[in-house]
Amino acid sequence: DLVRPPSTDHGNMPNMRWSFADSHIRIEEGGWTRQTTVRELSTSVELAGVNMRLGEGVIRELHWHKEAEWAYVLDGEVRVTALDYEGGNFIADVGKGDLWYFPSGVPHSLQGLSPNGTEFILIFDDGRFSEESTFILSDWLAHTPKSVIAENFHLDPEIFKHIPEGEKYIFQGTLPGSVEEERPTGKHAKKSKYNFVHSMLAQEPEITSGGEVRITDSKNFPISKTVAAAHLTIQPGALREMHWHPNADEWSFFIKGRARVTIFAAEGTARTFDYVPGDVGIVPKNMGHFVENIGDEPIEMLEIFRADEFRDFSLFQWMGETPKKLVIDHLFKGDKENGEKFWNEVKEAQKDPVTKYQKTDVKAGGSVLDGASDEL
């Protein structure tokens, strides 16, 4: 909280919060897009995000990127197409809570299918990414001599007389038929053997004392080699436990609820940030942190990483897996009674990613962050 931070905050730390509401919106025919990159949020160095919405039938035209693209569908349904490295075609429909992943260079397209529109968050594995640097079909052909295009496709140049003179980017298209109806049927057409989509919310969740966790990485979504993610639900009064990530910066996207995050950066430095839906949060690799639900509804959020595997270290588990005497000497030297209470709690070394303290001797309304304001 920048107005009344907790008394435990100290030192200087760069900004770790940005709202998509503050990003420039590019409005096109039937859709819009806005991005959060290292240009908007200087600490977003490993990943960049794009929030996009497409109306019914609206197409994000055929294109490809230098970066890999990972996506989470926030609302509605979208048709995705791609061509794999071996020349196989891929077509699928994905809905709320589903993912797709296209490796670097894989050409693809997106099309909204829902009457009320489709919205999703796109993640690219380089914070310097820009939507303006996309390789787009219409843009390429507009800057290629028509004689070359004609020779490439074995047709008369007159056929290409009226093709677009610039990029179309996002535009109104015709609603497609079913996946099977639309699948190419030419002599050499073949179906891709790769799966570029995954149903994240269909995964069986890990049920914790304070919420739910679903993890998707290359272990259960093999093609996603550069992006791993966790979907978390944090109930009111619960806490995403104190932890850190050893292999990548965390790029968080808050979908629902009100959250408070304190980041510990060593050297006596800690800073607290409050988040609401549509916000992006950064936690640099190895910095200790937690997420506290400070609202009256569950938090829904994504933790996203430029990594092939999700990894975290739990402070609770670490204490339980460390020799008792060593723990007591660190934290409770000369305070045997409280040291025993602490050890009895942590000794089972049970990791609880989203935890909720059930003891009755906690003061009503007490916050994990003593002295913190609940005001945004």
Q: How far apart are the first and last CA of the chain?
A: 7
Token match 């008792």: residue? 324
Is 201-355 in the same CATH topology as 18-198?
yes
- Distances in whole angstroms, Cα of residue 98 to Cα of each of 80, 195, 203, 324: 12, 13, 10, 44
Length of the chain equals: 376
Yes or no: say if 265 and 7 are a contact pair by the CB < 8 Å rule. no
Chain centroid to CA 314: 21
Q: What is the pLDDT of residue 366?
A: 41
Q: What residue ranges do the domains of the chain occupy?
A: 18-198, 201-355
In percent, the amount of the chain with pLDDT more than 90 equals: 92
pTM of the model: 0.92
Nearest CA to 253 out of 215, 281, 293, 212 is that of 281
Could you read off the pLDDT of 167-186 as tens digits, one per residue?
999 999 999 999 999 999 99
- Give the CA angle between residues 328, 246, 97 to the nearest 5°: 115
Catalytic residue among 46, 119, 212, 303: 303
Architecture of domain 201-355: Sandwich (2.60)
Q: Is 303 a catalytic residue?
A: yes
Could you read off the pLDDT of 64-113 as tens digits, one per residue?
999 999 999 999 999 999 999 999 999 999 999 999 999 999 999 999 99
Bridging pattern class, strands 239-244 and 354-355: antiparallel
pLDDT-derived band at 371 (thresholds 50, 70, 90) equals very low
Could you read off the pLDDT of 225-254 as tens digits, one per residue?
999 999 999 999 999 999 999 999 999 999
Is 292 within any annotated ligand binding site? no
Is 243 within any annotated ligand binding site? yes
Superfamily name and number for 18-198: Jelly Rolls (2.60.120.10)
Nearest CA to 55 out of 36, 27, 34 is that of 27
Within 8 A by CB and 6+ apart from 254, the residues are 275, 276, 277, 278, 279, 280, 281, 299, 300, 301
In single-letter form, the type of residue at position 345 comes to E
Is 231 within any annotated ligand binding site? no
pLDDT beyond 80 at 367: no
Could you read off the pLDDT of 10-68 as tens digits, one per residue?
999 999 999 999 999 999 999 999 999 999 999 999 999 999 999 999 999 999 999 99
Q: What is the pLDDT of residue 357?
A: 86
